[in-house]
Structure 1
Amino acid sequence: MASDPHGDDDAFRWEGDDAPSTPVKKSAATPVAPAAEPLAEGWQAVGKGSETIEEAAAGEPAPLGNVALVSMGLLGGIYLLYTVGWVLGGIRMFDAGVFLVPAYAVIPVVWVAIGACAVWFGATMLLTRHAAVWVRFVWLVAGVFLLVPWPFVMGV
């Protein structure tokens, strides 16, 4: 009886198979696996595709779509225009404010009003980065209604 160089491993081989060290080329028709959701605490992903699961578990927010990015840009532009409106309205109101209240009390209030738009936009973007996109838009639209530069609008 001749000795087999592979021993009992012949049952696990199929003659004509490619060697396991040969890299498999992916074609354009190879489907891409859908994004995986993070695993529950205590579980670990192993095997093919486990890198995408680990990346999803890292907590990075999903990228926004084109419509969401354009909408956020428009809302950011509105906040920028509101800031300009508060600057112009604050300058107009300064004379009337100083007539009623000392200047050292009016100046900080005007600066807070000018900075409120930037603070609201920045805080909303920072605090809702892991929330759903609609939550971010609700807070941004609420700020658009709450931070209207009334001194500029009313022409005081």
Structure 2
Amino acid sequence: MNATRDDDALNWAGDDDPTLAPGGTGRAAPETTSLPEGWTTPKKDAAPTDIAADADKTESDGAAASSAALVGVGILAGMYLLYSIGWFIGVSRLARSTVLTSGDPVADFMTSLGGWLAVAAPVIWFGATFWLTLSRPRARWVWLLIGAVVLIPVPFLLGSGLPG
């Protein structure tokens, strides 16, 4: 290291400021603010009031709860995505089988539409649950859990439509 600071590679303007020196005696002048009449500044060593302590406790508890809720919702979102994939595989198996070729164009269209709606149902349920329960987190959990049971891709699980 060089003996003088001017020869250092990293010399920045304001490095000589005494408030930046570690353990330095220079202090920046405190800003003076004028408060309305009857107001006082809190003392540095004053103990927090009960309201402030409760607010800090509630805030930290809420952060932990919201983190757990976020992880839980993420797990359920993954389940719903897997449900959509399962419905897609199950519907495509049924469409390849000879059971669904009836020869009637209206029946074939309705069967195809029902299949696509079955694939989209988990995504629609998840989105509608979130949108309709923005202010009610408990109701959101209830409806997401109900959907996790109701929307199970039964054709995929049972393996229906497979030849053999």
User: TM-score range with shorter-chain normalisation?
Assistant: 0.5 to 0.7
Q: Quick one: structure 1 residues 104 and 28, their matched pair in 2 at CA, closer, same or farther if it must change by over 3 Å? A: farther
1:115 partnered with 2:126: no
| Letter of the structure 1 residue corresponding to residue 152 of structure 2 | V
Map residues 41-120 of structure 1 onto 2, 5 A cutoff. 65-94=66-95, 95=97, 96-99=99-102, 102-120=107-125
Alpha-carbon offset, residue 29 of structure 1: 7.5
| Partner residue, 2:147 | 143
For the residue of structure 1 that corresponds to 2:101, the secondary structure is helix
Over aligned residue pairs, what C-alpha RMSD do you find?
3.1
TM-score by length of 2: 0.57
Structure 1 contact 85–152 (Cα < 8 Å) conserved: yes
Partners of 2:140 and 2:78 lie apart in 1 by: 16
Q: Quick one: structure 1 residues 65 and 151, their matched pair in 2 at CA, closer, same or farther if it must change by over 3 Å? A: same
| Letter of the structure 2 residue corresponding to residue 108 of structure 1 | L
For the residue of structure 2 that corresponds to 1:21, the secondary structure is coil
| Partner residue, 1:10 | none
Alpha-carbon offset, residue 66 of structure 1: 1.1
Runs of 4+ in 1 over 4 A off after TM superposition: 22-32
| Letter of the structure 2 residue corresponding to residue 85 of structure 1 | G
Alpha-carbon offset, residue 28 of structure 1: 9.8
Partners of 2:88 and 2:47 lie apart in 1 by: 57
Q: Which runs of 5+ in 1 are unaligned?
A: 1-18, 36-61
Partners of 1:28 and 1:100 lie apart in 2 by: 85
| Letter of the structure 1 residue corresponding to residue 91 of structure 2 | G
Q: Could you give the per-residue CA deviations for residues 123-151 of structure 1, whole angstroms, max 9, x where no partner exists? A: 111111101x2221110010010001011
Partners of 1:28 and 1:152 lie apart in 2 by: 66
Partners of 1:114 and 1:27 lie apart in 2 by: 61
Partners of 1:138 and 1:28 lie apart in 2 by: 47
| Letter of the structure 1 residue corresponding to residue 144 of structure 2 | L
TM-score by length of 1: 0.60
| Partner residue, 2:15 | none
Partners of 2:158 and 2:143 lie apart in 1 by: 25
Partners of 1:77 and 1:103 lie apart in 2 by: 31
Between the two proteins, the alignment pairs up a number of residues equal to 111
For the residue of structure 2 that corresponds to 1:65, the secondary structure is helix
Partners of 1:28 and 1:143 lie apart in 2 by: 53
